[in-house]
A and B are shown apart, each in its own frame.
Chain A
Amino acid sequence: MQDSFYITDKYLLRTQTSSVQARTMVANEEKSPIRIITLGKTYRREDDATHSHQFNQIEGLVIDRKETKISLADLKGTLEVFMKKMLGEKTELRFRPSYFPFTEPSYEVDVTCFKCGGKGCSLCKQTGWIEVLGSGMVHPNVLRMNGYDPDKYAGFAFGTGIDRLAMFKYGITDMRYLYANDIKFLSQFDRMDK
């Protein structure tokens, strides 16, 4: 990929934490259910007010036997809890069908604009919504490639950028604040966040 940092032909800095999902599935030799949250640093070749070449992602993956009826409804419920905890109980979610190669169906998830509360403003381009998450039901091919029988297993996955979420949550105007580590910036967050 053009936006990756390569070290050799074989090694590169990951552009997303999805690699952990695949590795967890492969490493799980019994092919038992998986429920994980992973987070970590990721890297892309870009640097500006809204993109940093280094940023952080958080991802969730649930794989379960089909008898447990793991479904899109579960994904919806899970993300509702996640976003309400992160951004406040009043936050509403909108699932927009989208396209990602590793999930089917796939959804982009919008949350009520934290700035205008959904009325529409310049930040949300007057739509009242801000896109925050990518998600979907794990594609049968992904299950198969990692040794899970898609007739017996199903699951969901989601991911988001922690930095962007932090910017939304606290109203931070420039991504670069997060990495400049000005003491006056850092000490603003030296408290419990209820």
Chain B
Amino acid sequence: MILSRNFVKDYIDLDDELSIKQIAEDMTRVGNEYDEARALVNSTNLIIGKVLECEMHPDSDNLHVCKVDVGNEVLQIVCGAPNVAKGEKVIVALPGAVLPGDFKIQKSVKRGVESNGMICALYEIGIDKKFLSEEDKNGIHVLSDDAPVGKDPIEYMKLNDEIIDFDLTANRGDLLSILGMAYELGAIYDKKVKEVDLSHRESGEDLNKSFELKINTPNCSLFLARKVENVEIKESPDFIKNRLIACGVRPINNVVDISNYVMLELGQPLHFYDADRLNGCLEVRQAQSGEKLTTLDEQERILDENDLVISDGNKGIGLAGVMGGLSTEVEETTKNVIIEAAIFDSVMVRKTSKKILRSEASNRFEKGLDPNRTYMAIERACKLLAEYAGGTVVTGMCEYNQADMKDREIEVSYEQINALLGTEIPKEEVLNVYRKLGFTAKDSGTTADVIVPRRRLDISIPEDLIEEVSRIYGVDNIEGKLPVVPMKRGSRNNTLREIRRKMVNLGLNETLTYVLINDKEVHKYTADSFEELRLSDPMTEERSVLRYSLIPSLVKTYEYNKAHYNKDVSIFEIGKGFWKKGEEYGENNKLCALMTGNYLDSLGKDQKVDFYVMKGVAEEILDYLGYGGRYSFVKPKQDICEFHPYQTAEISVNADICGIVGKLHPNETKDDVYVLEINLDKLLEKKTGKMTFKEISKFPSVNKDLAVVVDKFVTSAELQSEIKRAGGKLFLGSKVFDVYQGAPLPPNKKSIAVSLSFGANDRTLTDEEVNTVLNQIIERLEKGVKAELRK
């Protein structure tokens, strides 16, 4: 809704000192946001001039060189408009003028001829082309002969208005009218709203004798019709045209303009029919399924039972509240007019308008209307048609009224107000707010009994009245304080946060990627069987299913980084994976990591990422969470084709698979990319060992290195678990420090080098003791995994 300052001044006295920006800000503070506040014509330094001479430019076919009298001097101006001519009164932008779009006018030389300003078209000074006549769209504006040279053209054209374009909240339908705006401004500035002039004469036989209403639907609560005869269709007076333009509505002719003017002024949409094209009757009914109707825009519409139709008793002639029909439209030749002012069901209008066209009118019906305004609007239209279209108003009004006309009475206690707002506003101040709003409020000791005018459809419960106090009294006047309430630590699981910190401390960057992925990726990187969750209406193929694994997202992130010249990528994410099995829907928290290139560890040491680095990250997390000694890395039961066949292990915790760590298969990427994913929900329900102290040996441990050649499909993890089994009490642990494949080894072999440590709490081990255990281990490896000792 656009507010015109000149328009609203009909109903409220606004201080001239108050800038339009200030009014907009004051309205914002009571809850009415705006997009812009400005002069209607946003140009400076304009003056009325008279073209004394107009010659063709010596070096151009379309430029003219004009001598223009602007009162105190005569300026030479070069003008390119085709319609500039000697003797015309024109709008001149003087050097120094600024036109919309920050267009600065300066003295210039155009093809060798000096030009001191610009002769303007209306669209150049800021009137949108959609409001202009054909001549004005294509050339400069020519003022009437009586325009005073040297004076302000904006004032002369009565375009000296200011506007605020409001972005209103859905509940304030009452503000979709100049009168409603006046009430709101009245509450802010404590000014009384003036009466609307509805006075007009009427004559002739009562309309009810010649005209009939048939309301055959429950979806029309109020329908009024009046007739105005012998209207003369012509251009509207300036004030009507200018106010329509200010409010963003294109002027057409006086009769059509009056219908729009009253809607803007009072908020009630009206429809005017050519009375001679009706059969003395207007009917409101539901459309029949498949019924056809040609609307004003010359389009044939096919309707159904949910559309509300106006008919002339025989056939449909309009879509109630949405758009009139072509057959009964007011035209140049129209003499007699039937005015319709009605209230239609807001939901029904919304549905039909959504299908056909959303308009200023349908928007108002959708928000709800005050039936008192319906009565005002029809009288106001009669008055304006009599005054500005020379019409004669016919006596009497056809009336159908099932509407609730009553104002609401709501009781609110002062205590309730101050409790909800956290204030100590005295009752006088409360009553004062209601008075300013134009409500009637009676003090009943502990409560205010408020009669809320019907126009404020948004107010129905005491809390609404409390909101009015906070709005008009001012939220800024309410001091903030902190609630004094007992607080307890939230139930949110802290473990995920701990894992996140640990991962960051290990030197990985946390990412946040999209949950929605391409359906081609959803079953990748896993052997699990599940049904994916698919959107029924995806925006794109790329975002069409919910991810099960986070690996596809991190692989995408790696690819993005690679394309952006980031070779070293170490990232992780904690997020949910989603699935469906039969009728069961589920989701799991997952930890996913991806590493490639060089890994800058937490101490800033660069290291090339390999399988053992990625596995090491998994071990760090598992140890940190207390699963030390309870997990192992095992060969996947089944090949997952996106993973490398030999550099992949499943993570088994308490003998249950909880995750996977491995290298991406060379078919997936040529780079060495390693990933890890753990199902945290599954992992965290597993038992952990107690954190207890173990005696620390005072004696040194002994380290022995061992290198063996095994079949290439034997994993280091398998080797290590064999070692552990054979190691006995004196064995403390093992660490793989080299894995090698290639010449001189046969192609199906690889060599693994392990560092073993041995020790006891009560003594330093002798060489003999250590060698005995070492031999046991070697023997076991030879039998168990057919290892050959490498010399």
Q: A residues engaging B (CB < 8 A)?
A: 5-8, 11, 13, 33, 35-37, 41, 43, 45, 47, 53-54, 62, 64, 66, 68-81, 94-99, 104-108, 137, 139-140, 154, 178-184, 186-187, 190
Contact indicator B471/A97 (Cβ below 8 Å): yes
In the bound assembly, the distance between CA atoms of A73 and B169 in angstroms comes to 23
Nearest CB to that of A137 among chain B residues? B420
Nearest CB to that of A9 among chain B residues? B536
Give me 10 A-to-B residue pairs in the complex whose CB atoms sit less than 8 angstroms apart, sorted by A's number.
A6-B537, A35-B487, A54-B515, A73-B423, A74-B481, A76-B422, A79-B480, A97-B467, A137-B420, A179-B514
Contact indicator B569/A183 (Cβ below 8 Å): yes
Contact indicator B29/A96 (Cβ below 8 Å): yes
In the bound assembly, the distance between CA atoms of A109 and B56 in angstroms comes to 60
When distances are taken between beta carbons in the complex, the residues of chain B under 8 Å from A137 are 420, 463
Contact indicator A5/B513 (Cβ below 8 Å): no
Contact indicator B539/A7 (Cβ below 8 Å): no
In the bound assembly, the distance between CA atoms of A108 and B33 in angstroms comes to 10
| B464, CB-defined interface residue at 8 Å | yes
- Closest Cβ of chain A to B685, distance in Å, is 22
| Extra inter-chain contacts (4) besides given A71-B421, A179-B512, A181-B571, CB under 8 Å | A72-B478, A78-B483, A99-B170, A104-B461
In the bound assembly, the distance between CA atoms of A93 and B514 in angstroms comes to 33
| B696, CB-defined interface residue at 8 Å | no
Using known A-B contacts A68-B485, A72-B470, A181-B512, determine if residue A98 contacts B421 with beta carbons closer than 8 Å.
no
In the bound assembly, the distance between CA atoms of A99 and B173 in angstroms comes to 12
- Closest Cβ of chain A to B503, distance in Å, is 12
In the bound assembly, the distance between CA atoms of A154 and B569 in angstroms comes to 50
- Closest Cβ of chain A to B241, distance in Å, is 30
Closest 7 pairs between A and B when the two form their complex, measured CB to CB? A73-B422, A71-B422, A97-B31, A76-B480, A105-B467, A77-B480, A99-B169
For chain B, what secondary structure do more than half of its interface residues adopt (helix, strand, loop), or is it mixed?
loop
Contact indicator B557/A181 (Cβ below 8 Å): yes
Contact indicator B490/A36 (Cβ below 8 Å): yes
| B510, CB-defined interface residue at 8 Å | yes
When distances are taken between beta carbons in the complex, the residues of chain A under 8 Å from B200 are none
When distances are taken between beta carbons in the complex, the residues of chain B under 8 Å from A66 are 419
Q: 0/1 per residue, B473-512, Cβ < 8 Å to A?
A: 0011011111111010010000000000000100001111
When distances are taken between beta carbons in the complex, the residues of chain A under 8 Å from B483 are 62, 64, 68, 70, 74, 77-78
Contact indicator B481/A77 (Cβ below 8 Å): yes
In the bound assembly, the distance between CA atoms of A13 and B233 in angstroms comes to 56
Contact indicator A99/B172 (Cβ below 8 Å): yes
- Closest Cβ of chain A to B490, distance in Å, is 7
- Closest Cβ of chain A to B485, distance in Å, is 6
Most chain-B Cβ atoms within 10 A of its Cβ — which of A37, A73, A80?
A73
- Closest Cβ of chain B to A52, distance in Å, is 8
Q: 0/1 per residue, B516-543, Cβ < 8 Å to A?
A: 1000000000000000011111110001
Segment with Cβ contacts to A, from B222-230, B558-566, B779-787: B558-566
Contact indicator B479/A73 (Cβ below 8 Å): yes
Nearest CB to that of B467 among chain A residues? A105
Q: B residues engaging A (CB < 8 A)?
A: 28-31, 33, 169-172, 419-423, 458, 461, 463-464, 466-467, 470-471, 475-476, 478-485, 487, 490, 504, 509-516, 533-539, 543, 546, 557, 560-561, 564, 566, 568-569, 571, 585
In the bound assembly, the distance between CA atoms of A7 and B534 in angstroms comes to 6
Most chain-B Cβ atoms within 10 A of its Cβ — which of A37, A54, A139?
A54
When distances are taken between beta carbons in the complex, the residues of chain A under 8 Å from B467 are 97, 104-106
- Closest Cβ of chain A to B414, distance in Å, is 14
Using known A-B contacts A181-B557, A182-B560, determine if residue A97 contacts B475 with beta carbons closer than 8 Å.
yes
In the bound assembly, the distance between CA atoms of A75 and B461 in angstroms comes to 21
Using known A-B contacts A53-B543, A179-B514, determine if residue A186 contacts B480 with beta carbons closer than 8 Å.
no
Contact indicator A53/B516 (Cβ below 8 Å): yes
In the bound assembly, the distance between CA atoms of A78 and B483 in angstroms comes to 8
Contact indicator B490/A37 (Cβ below 8 Å): yes
In the bound assembly, the distance between CA atoms of A79 and B564 in angstroms comes to 40
Contact indicator A8/B536 (Cβ below 8 Å): yes
Contact indicator A104/B536 (Cβ below 8 Å): no
Contact indicator B421/A72 (Cβ below 8 Å): yes
In the bound assembly, the distance between CA atoms of A115 and B420 in angstroms comes to 35
Nearest CB to that of A5 among chain B residues? B535
When distances are taken between beta carbons in the complex, the residues of chain A under 8 Å from B534 are 7
Nearest CB to that of B560 among chain A residues? A180
- Closest Cβ of chain B to A101, distance in Å, is 9
Contact indicator A179/B513 (Cβ below 8 Å): yes
When distances are taken between beta carbons in the complex, the residues of chain A under 8 Å from B471 are 97, 105
Nearest CB to that of B478 among chain A residues? A73
Nearest CB to that of B484 among chain A residues? A68
In the bound assembly, the distance between CA atoms of A8 and B482 in angstroms comes to 43
Most chain-A Cβ atoms within 10 A of its Cβ — which of B420, B515, B535?
B420
When distances are taken between beta carbons in the complex, the residues of chain A under 8 Å from B535 are 5-7, 13
Nearest CB to that of A140 among chain B residues? B463
In the bound assembly, the distance between CA atoms of A106 and B471 in angstroms comes to 10
In the bound assembly, the distance between CA atoms of A80 and B557 in angstroms comes to 37
Contact indicator B461/A5 (Cβ below 8 Å): no
Nearest CB to that of B539 among chain A residues? A45
Using known A-B contacts A137-B420, A181-B512, determine if residue A76 contacts B478 with beta carbons closer than 8 Å.
yes
Using known A-B contacts A7-B533, A47-B539, A96-B33, determine if residue A107 contacts B475 with beta carbons closer than 8 Å.
yes
In the bound assembly, the distance between CA atoms of A139 and B419 in angstroms comes to 15
Nearest CB to that of A54 among chain B residues? B514
When distances are taken between beta carbons in the complex, the residues of chain A under 8 Å from B537 are 5-6, 45
Contact indicator A80/B516 (Cβ below 8 Å): no
Partner of A6, one of B536, B561, B568, B571: B536
Nearest CB to that of A7 among chain B residues? B533
Contact indicator A186/B511 (Cβ below 8 Å): yes
Contact indicator B571/A186 (Cβ below 8 Å): yes
In the bound assembly, the distance between CA atoms of A35 and B480 in angstroms comes to 18
Most chain-B Cβ atoms within 10 A of its Cβ — which of A33, A68, A95?
A95
In the bound assembly, the distance between CA atoms of A186 and B511 in angstroms comes to 8
In the bound assembly, the distance between CA atoms of A179 and B575 in angstroms comes to 14
- Closest Cβ of chain B to A28, distance in Å, is 12
In the bound assembly, the distance between CA atoms of A119 and B255 in angstroms comes to 47
Using known A-B contacts A35-B485, A66-B419, determine if residue A97 contacts B569 with beta carbons closer than 8 Å.
no
Contact indicator A73/B516 (Cβ below 8 Å): no
When distances are taken between beta carbons in the complex, the residues of chain B under 8 Å from A72 are 420-423, 470, 475, 478
Using known A-B contacts A37-B490, A69-B422, A183-B566, determine if residue A190 contacts B509 with beta carbons closer than 8 Å.
yes
In the bound assembly, the distance between CA atoms of A47 and B514 in angstroms comes to 12
- Closest Cβ of chain B to A43, distance in Å, is 8
- Closest Cβ of chain B to A89, distance in Å, is 15
Most chain-B Cβ atoms within 10 A of its Cβ — which of A68, A99, A139?
A99
Contact indicator A97/B30 (Cβ below 8 Å): yes
Contact indicator B419/A71 (Cβ below 8 Å): yes
When distances are taken between beta carbons in the complex, the residues of chain A under 8 Å from B569 are 183
Contact indicator B516/A54 (Cβ below 8 Å): yes
When distances are taken between beta carbons in the complex, the residues of chain A under 8 Å from B172 are 99
Contact indicator A99/B420 (Cβ below 8 Å): no
In the bound assembly, the distance between CA atoms of A21 and B422 in angstroms comes to 23
In the bound assembly, the distance between CA atoms of A96 and B30 in angstroms comes to 7
